[in-house]
Amino acid sequence: MSQTDQSLIQSQLGRYRWPGLIVAGVGLVISIGGAFLNVEQFWQSYLLAFLFWLEIGLGCLAIAMLHHLVGGRWSFLIRRFMEAGASTLPLMALLFIPLLFGLPSLYRWLDAETVANSDLLQQKSAYLNLPFFIARSVFYFAVWIGLAYLLQRWSTAQDQTGNPALAIRLRRLSSIGLILYILTATFAAYDWMMSLEPEWFSSIYGLLFIAGQILAALALAVIGLRYLSTREAGRQKIAGADWANYFNDLGNFLLGFVMIWAYFSFSQYLIIWSANLPEEAIWYYHRSQGGWQWVGMFLIAFHFALPFFLLLSRLIKRRARLLTGLAILIFLIRIVDLYWLVVPALHPDGIHFHWLAVILFITLGGAWAAVFFQGLASRPLLSLSDPQMRELVHDSSEEFAAP
């Protein structure tokens, strides 16, 4: 493929951002109207949508760093999609700012009367207070955006110069960055999700959120690989490319993290069930009545059982269309999982759904997609200077270098 053809693909990807911007703009107008009708519901729906789109960006950041740390052909082909996903984190930091105005509607530990009537919340007040909460949030985003920025900057420099020292620099950054990612994502889950029920606590809760992030990002990676496999740049210029093997690798990772998510979920339940302490069991009590129990059963069936058994099949993992369909299912089920984690804390008496949740999900998703496609369009879909390129790309691969 010529440079002109590669530029055409980048131009097409760039045009995808306009529908996202239009959707975000229309959704914003409707959402503002909904906020005037029910401001408390607006903030609840906003938090849910924010957490979903944030988790995809964080999962992409983690997989991008994993690629630089351990390498592998499976990750080389999805590298640009993961970097583009991580590039949405500054947008998510910007979208976090409006959420600060809704904190009193979401978190009971900000109510002085509630804290005064709870000895446990008084003991946690050194951690659960507004100034420290905001300071921690700023720190989380500073770490995530800093890591994403350095990955993007050095990755671009690697494309431009081909300097092998940059691969070492990216690997060293990723080794430290993955540790920082796990710590910050864990405490962010504690702050933004677990503290919705401040009397309850679980040490595994952050890992459960991280497993969901990786699952969402892997689902996006499968969709991205499907797109790449249909482009001439991918089909013709990767020497001897066995796309079935690449999809099989991503399918194995999906299977692994479906099992990890299920393991964390069951481990948390088993430990709390065996301890049978009221302050711990209350979390599951809220999710086992009023219809919430059916949401939990739905997650067992479609977040674990169905993907698990389907991904055991080598045939499904090696068929791009089948695996992509399953990835889309997992992507959507992640919304239901976050819904089950967040909303019962705010509506423990029974299952609750509001149209604002759909509108805000689409609104924030439109903005996220616009930034994502802009990031994809800014560089070639394949990094020609990546060390893995020597194994994957034909000798004539310089034909589709970045113009």
Q: How many CA atoms lie within 13 A of 373 on its CB side?
A: 19
Q: Which of 17, 4, 68 is nearest to 377 (CA)?
A: 17
Tell me the pLDDT tens digit for each residue of 279-297.
Answer: 788 899 989 888 999 999 9
Return the percentage of the chain with pLDDT > 70, whole number. 89
| Residue 9 pLDDT class (50, 70, 90 cuts) | low
Asked whether the predicted pLDDT for residue 212 surpasses 90, the reply is: yes
CA nearest neighbour of 214 among 245, 260, 170, 175: 260
β-bridge mates for residue 104, sequence order: none
Q: Residue 275 class from Cβ within 10 Å (0-12 exposed, 13-18 middle, 19+ buried)? A: exposed
Per-residue pLDDT at 396 exceeds 60:
no
pLDDT-based confidence at residue 394 (cuts at 50, 70, 90): very low
Q: What is the pLDDT of residues 294-348, one digit of tens each?
A: 999 999 999 999 999 999 999 999 999 999 999 999 999 999 999 999 999 999 8
- Average pLDDT over all residues of the chain: 88
List, in sequence order, the alpha helices (H) in 16-129: 17-37, 39-70, 73-76, 79-86, 89-99, 103-106, 112-116, 119-124
Q: How far apart are CA 276 and CA 55, in angstroms?
A: 31
